[in-house]
Amino acid sequence: MFEPGDRVLLVGGGRTFFVRAGCGSFSTDRGVIDLDALLAASPGDTIQTHTGGVFQVLAPRAPDFFARASRSGAPMLPKDIGLVIAYTGMNNRDVVLDAGTGSGIAAIYFGGIAGKVVSYEIRPEFARQAEKNVADAKLSTVEVICGDVREAAGTYDIVHLDLSVTPDIVSHAHSILRPGGYLACYTPFLEQLVTVMDTARDLFTEVTAHECIGREIARGPRGTRPSTRVCHTGYVTVARV
C-alpha cells in the first residue's frame, strides 16, 4: 500500500508518469487518473483512467529518481555512480560521507546500499531540494547537511566527493577515513583530476584514476550499432587509506 504523498510510477501505453499518491487527480493523454485511488494500490497493481486507459502501478527505484526527480543541477550518471560503488566495495556495514549533494541522486543510490550516508551540500537551495528527493525515496539511512564538507567530523568508511576539489578537501577526507577506507572523487575536468591525484599520492597507499566511458547500443530498421551520443562523462579517482 502507498501512503499519502508517496512517489509512484504509472507505466502504460509507452508513457511513464512520476506522481504522488493521494494528491487529487492527474490528467494524461489517455484520460484522468484518480491519485487518491493509489492509496489502495500496491506495486504491480493496475489503475484505469476515466476513459479506460490502463496504467501499471510501480514503486520508484533509484534510476527513476535520476530520470524524473526535480534537479538543482546536473547529477552524476548512474554508470559513474556505479563505478564509485564497485571500486569502493560499498556495503551495508559502511558509513559514507557524500559531499556535493546537488539533487541528492548519488546519495539516494548510496542510501540503498550503505548502512548510513551523510551528505554535505554548501548551497542551501540545493540542500533543500536534495532533502525533498531523499524524503520521496523514503530513505531513513540518508541525512543531508547544509554545510562545508571541510567541517565534517566523525569517522567514515567511504568519502565521496562530487565538487570542485581542492588539496585541503582531499586532506580532510583522508583525516576522517578509517584505515582501509576509500576516497572516491568524481571530476569533470583533467585539471581537477590532477589536483586529486597529486594530493592523494602523498596521503593514500593506493591511487587509481578511471575515465568514465559508456556507449548505448542503438537498434533500428537498418541495423544495430553503438549510439552516436557522447560516451565520455568525466573521471573517478579512487584512493585507499
The tens digit of pLDDT for each residue in 61-78 reads: 999 999 999 988 888 999
229: left (phi over 0), alpha (psi -120 to 50) or beta: beta
CATH class of the domain defined by 7-58: alpha beta
The pLDDT tens digits for 183-227 are: 999 999 999 999 999 999 999 999 999 999 988 899 999 999 988
- Three-state DSSP at 15 gives strand
41 pLDDT tier (thresholds 50, 70, 90):
very high
At residue 23 the predicted structure's pLDDT band, cuts being 50, 70 and 90, is: confident
Q: What's the CA gap between 162 and 185, in Å, rounded? A: 6
**Alpha helices (H) along the chain:** 62-68, 78-88, 105-111, 124-136, 167-175, 190-200
> Domain residue spans in the chain?
7-58, 64-240
Q: What does CATH list as the number for 64-240?
A: 3.40.50.150
What sign does the dihedral 41-27-60-56 (CA atoms) show? positive
pTM for this entry = 0.92
pLDDT-derived band at 108, boundaries 50, 70, 90: very high
Report pLDDT for 231: 85
Tell me: pLDDT of 56 over 90: yes
DSSP letter at 91 equals: -
Residue 235's pLDDT band, with cuts at 50, 70 and 90, is very high
pLDDT above 80 (res 48): yes
Average of per-residue pLDDT across 81-93: 97
User: Which cell numbers in the block locate residue 86?
Assistant: 564497485
